Amino acid sequence: MTIRVACIGGGPGGLFFTALLKQRMPEADVVLFERNQASDAFGFGVVFSDATLRRINEADPVLRDGLKNFGKHWDSIEVWLKDDRRSFGGNGMAAIHRKTILRLLQERAAQVGVDMRFGQVAPRLDELGEYDLIVGADGANSLTREQLGEALGHTAETATAKFIWFGTTNLFNGLTFIHRRSEHGNFAAHAYPISDELSTFIVETDQETWRKAGLDEFDVSQPPGPSDAKTQRYLEKLFAEDIEGQPLVANNSRWANFRTRQTKTWHCGNVALLGDAVHTAHFSVGSGTKMAMEDAVVLAREVAAHAGNLELALTNYEAERQPEVAKIQNSARPSLSWWEHFSRYYQAFEPLQFTFHFFSRSIDIEKIRQRDPELVDAAEKEWKEIHGADPLNTPLQAGPVSFDGRLLRLTTSQGTPVLVAGAQELPLTEVPEEASGSTGLLITAPDTEDGLDAVLENLSGTPAFVVIAGGNPFTRSLLSEEARLARGLTSIMVNDDPDTAPAVTLILSGRADAVAINEAPAFHSDKAFDA
Ligand SMILES: Cc1cc2nc3c(=O)[nH]c(=O)nc-3n(C[C@H](O)[C@H](O)[C@H](O)COP(=O)(O)OP(=O)(O)OC[C@H]3O[C@@H](n4cnc5c(N)ncnc54)[C@H](O)[C@@H]3O)c2cc1C
């Protein structure tokens, strides 16, 4: 059967969807509205992890060929700080200029007969009655989503960190994270090559530093076009050594706060949404374009398979894509949080521990070792040189309490939580005022970041040590870091997994001073690492 389809938005998601649908249904009438001209492209590059492109490449090799012919490929990620450069191998990735991937997708869509209308803002939904299906692929500020109203259950969570997107003519070898401290505070750049002429250069900082540096003067409410020249000059100077004196290149470059978007329902009647319009994940996990293109693959397949029953097609699309997107968004959360705290880590850790902390955001030491044994060897060697033993066998002094090693147990005795360390059995209290001398304070982490402030109020007094249970690995980690890095307390993180790899990871990375394996059913929580 033949259907009429209107797609709003010609970013990677909309272009790929229309091209795939038209390939599967040559008889369909497929129109794409894009408000920009075909050659316009804001931003710089897009980075993809090699391991994650199977589904997109199977649907159409346009991205794979584009990366091969025009992209840049690398295997190692580098971290630069305090005159130290570390690399983490085994991370195959490739990047391409956004302009190039859009051009290639436009060519593919043209080849198969998509009617692309550039320079045209899409009509409102109520003016698109002639179409059987309308697809909103109109990006993070989707007007389509807005017109569908609150029934979709859309939420947007704004990160506290500020970011700005530049390019630079300095060519980096691969994905490079550069940390610099100015008299105003910490800045970090995510840099990677996207062509023979250009690298992407995204910079992040915290709100306070941004204000102190006077980088808050640019009027971000003015229409797209002008870039923040003052920031450009400031960052060119701060990162001069890293970009080898080359300029930063601006393209509508302005400070913003990243917004993580989630949406409960991705379709309503004959309107379906895809890509950034319904979900975003922090750019440090490099998945936005991939997710939009994967949405396109599944939506095109389902519409082609059930053109006579679009409700079924859209329901299937949503059922298949939502769990996969949720998984990526879950892994992006700790990553985003890392970027909100990098100044704390910069000040607390030496470069090697800082690097290990960064790479262990969502994977444990054994997974890191599989990719790059040298990095792990170096981190373990440095720990041993400083402490004289490996992490789990390093003694720990917490106030008057001495632990021979750092792998402990949490259990209960007659309803009271007890920390077991060798032959010692130390009762714990959950009442801050009772925690003193050799009595440790047991804190229950919240299930989400929103609950952290309330729990932090309990982190008062001068306990010999704090034991952090409950919640999930992410919230326990945030609490543990607050305890040890910001408040100078000895922190023992509870872990359900009896495997030693997560425990070694937590200690070696500086997230915790020690780990207690959870043997108390009352405190069971999620697994430590799921990546
Ligand atoms: C700093 C930063 C770095 C990023 N880095 C990466 C990365 O490395 N890897 C990665 O995969 N992703 C990255 N992303 C995310 C990526 O850019 C997006 O996830 C991706 O572009 C989403 O594609 P989309 O097609 O859903 O939306 P978009 O690319 O936003 O496309 C939407 C299109 O709709 C058009 N449009 C909007 N409204 C209308 C209208 N009313 N009528 C007509 N047209 C309209 C817009 O002009 C636009 O062309 C990054 C994002 C940011 C902010």
pLDDT digits (tens, 9 = 90+) for 477-527: 999 999 999 999 999 999 988 899 999 999 999 999 999 999 887 776 654
Q: Find residue 441's DSSP bridge partners.
A: 429, 466
What are the tens digits of pLDDT across the range 123-132?
999 999 999 9
pLDDT at position 526 is 55
Mean pLDDT of 196-205: 96
Of all protein residues, the one whose alpha carbon is nearest to atom 49 of ligand 1 is: 11
Q: How many CA atoms lie within 13 A of 138 on its CB side?
A: 26
DSSP 54: H
Q: What are the tokens at 236? A: 């060119």
* CA of residue 14 to ligand 1 center, whole Å: 10
pLDDT at position 528 is 41
Residue 157 in this model has a pLDDT that exceeds 50: yes
Residue 58 in this model has a pLDDT that exceeds 70: yes
Mutate to test the pocket of ligand 1, among 35, 100, 280, 336 (most ligand atoms within 8 A of CB): 35
Instruction: Please name the amino acid found at residue 128.
Output: L
Of all protein residues, the one whose alpha carbon is nearest to atom 2 of ligand 1 is: 283
Mean pLDDT of 182-193: 97
Mean pLDDT of 373-397: 97
Pairing status of strand 514-518 against strand 407-413: parallel
pLDDT at position 524 is 66
* CA of residue 276 to ligand 1 center, whole Å: 6
pLDDT at position 521 is 72
pLDDT at position 527 is 44
Looking at 184-193, 198-207, 406-415, which range is the least confident one? 406-415
Rg of the chain over Cα atoms, rounded to whole angstroms, equals 25
DSSP 40: -
Q: How confident is the model at residue 433 (pLDDT cuts 50, 70, 90)?
A: confident
* Cα–Cα dist 79/509, whole Å: 15
* Cα–Cα dist 17/427, whole Å: 60
Ligand 1 lining (C-beta closer than 6 Å): 8-14, 33-36, 46-47, 121-122, 137-139, 143, 163, 165, 202, 275-276, 283, 286-290, 292
Q: What is the pTM of this model?
A: 0.91
Q: Find residue 32's DSSP bridge partners.
A: 7, 116
Mean pLDDT of 66-75: 94
Residue 284 in this model has a pLDDT that exceeds 90: no
Mean pLDDT of 358-376: 94
Ligand 1 atom nearest 258 alpha carbon = 53
Mean pLDDT of 216-233: 94
Residue 411 in this model has a pLDDT that exceeds 70: yes
* Residue found under tokens 């990366």: 67
176's CB contacts (< 8 A; 6+ apart) are 77, 78, 79, 80, 189, 190, 191, 192
Mean pLDDT of 53-58: 90
Phi and psi angles of residue 95, each rounded to the nearest 5 degrees, phi first? -135, 155
- What's 134-145 look like in SS3? EEECCCCCCHHH
Torsion of CA 282, 283, 286, 287, to 10 degrees: 50
pLDDT at position 530 is 37
